[in-house]
Amino acid sequence: MRFIRIVVTDDQGRYVVPDLPRANYDVWVRGYGLVDSPKVKSAPGKLLNLKAVPAPSEAAAAQYYPAIYWYSMMKIPEASVFGSKEAPQNVKLTDYLNGMKNNGCVGCHQLGQLSTRTIPKYHLDGKTHQEAWVRRIQSGQAGENMVLQAAGQLGGLPFKYLGDWTERVAGGELPFAKPTRPQGVERNIVVTLRDWHNPKQYLHDLIASDRRYPTVNAYGPLYGQCEHACNDMPILDPVKNVATNFVLPTTPDMPLALGPGNAGSVKILQSSAYWGEENIWDSKANTTTRCSTARAACGSRRPGTSRTTPTSAKRIEPSLGRRVSAQQHQPPRDDVRSEDRQVHRLSDLLRLASPAVRL
């Protein structure tokens, strides 16, 4: 398991890395306007005097900018696009922003980091960046969801702007804004990162406690979930720094998630009573056919339904994994303090809040 701890220096360059598990570490300096300094081997309790390395160019410095600085380079459709033939009927600019910025793509991805602001050669292969994005979002177990949003709900409109974005990045364009180093209390932050699953199966979600009762499972394990990527439940003990894997029992008749990338040519029907039309996306032809739900050409399908129709797909048996009884892996007891179960009165919350946040 890879373990990373990040702290911020003060104006004099002083820093302390607290609460390090006993181990040997690589230590180096990273920052805005810098490139990574040479890594120095060290261990807890030792003093180090590291030297920062200025970036040789603006392009080199930009590689360390937060992902959002790169994602903000992506252009947004003009308001006149919505209501025209370029966008689905009744889809507004706010709907587009919600899907591309607020609750859609960014709900699962950190858009703008190196892996998303660039296109792999095997996705380009003589294609344009726009065509490469059409291919890219069909990949993986969640490809169906991505295609339904980009090609179905938004009628394929995002591909033009995603393609333009990565093409400009490939051409050397840099973010228009530069991040500043942390100020004030921001310097007190201590970030701990752990790679606690494996490189081939992604972690999509995790849970540590209950938002309503945050002392539930205090100092207890973190439970992960890898969406459609595996049958396992990755578990991390953040106190002992130990990662384990619980193989969830499955049955032979359990359905297997099948994304568009796995079925060759896949036609996806997305219909909506809100739009008053249906969008049929053909992944092989990379085209979207739109028709009114009132027309006979759409058949007898009712608005408000959504389904995928693989035209050619082999039956794939799901992995049964290692069967483990529930008694063999019990989560820790939920020790909840009685005061945490109390419902606080609004007057108490206002009394405890600082004047700056009182309404």
In the chain, the percentage of residues whose pLDDT exceeds 90 is 42
Q: How many domains does the chain have?
A: 1
Domain membership flag for residue 169: no
pLDDT digits (tens, 9 = 90+) for 54-95: 999 999 999 999 999 999 999 999 999 998 988 998 899 999
- Using one digit for the tens of pLDDT, what is the confidence trace for 251-274? 666 655 433 333 333 343 333 332
Lowest mean pLDDT across 33-47, 124-138, 242-256: 242-256
Is 272 within a domain? yes
What's the 3-state SS for the chain?
A: CEEEEEECCCCCCCCCCCCCCCCCEEECCCCCCEECCCCEEECCCCCCCCCCEECCCHHHHHCCCCHHHHHCCCCCCCHHHCCCCCCCCCCCHHHHHHHHHHCCHHHCCCCCCHHHHCCCHHHHCCCCHHHHHHHHCCCCCCHHHHHHHHHHHCCCHHHHHHHHHHHHHHCCCCCCCCCCCCCHHHHHCEEEEEECCECCECCCEEECCCCCCCCCCCCCCEEEECCCCCCEEEEEECCCCEEEEEECCCCCCCCCCCCHHHCCCEEEEEEECCCCEEEEEECCCCEEEEEECCCHHHCCCCCCCEEEEECCCCCCCCCCCCCCCHHHCCCCCCCCCHHHHCCCCHHHHHHHCCHHHCC
Asked whether residue 186 is assigned to any structural domain, the reply reads no
At 311 the pLDDT is: 38
**Domain containing 298: what range?**
260-310
Residue 288 lies in a domain: yes
Least confident of 48-52, 70-74, 165-169, 342-346: 342-346
pLDDT of 160 > 90? The answer is: yes
Whether residue 294 lies inside any domain: the answer is yes
- Looking at every residue in the chain, the average pLDDT score rounds to 76
Asked whether residue 58 is domain-assigned, the answer is no
pLDDT tens digits along 187-223:
999 999 998 888 888 888 889 998 888 889 988 999 9
Is residue 142 in a domain? no
280 or 37: which carries more pLDDT confidence? Answer: 37
Q: How confident is the model at residue 348 (pLDDT cuts 50, 70, 90)?
A: very low
Q: Is residue 284 part of a domain?
A: yes
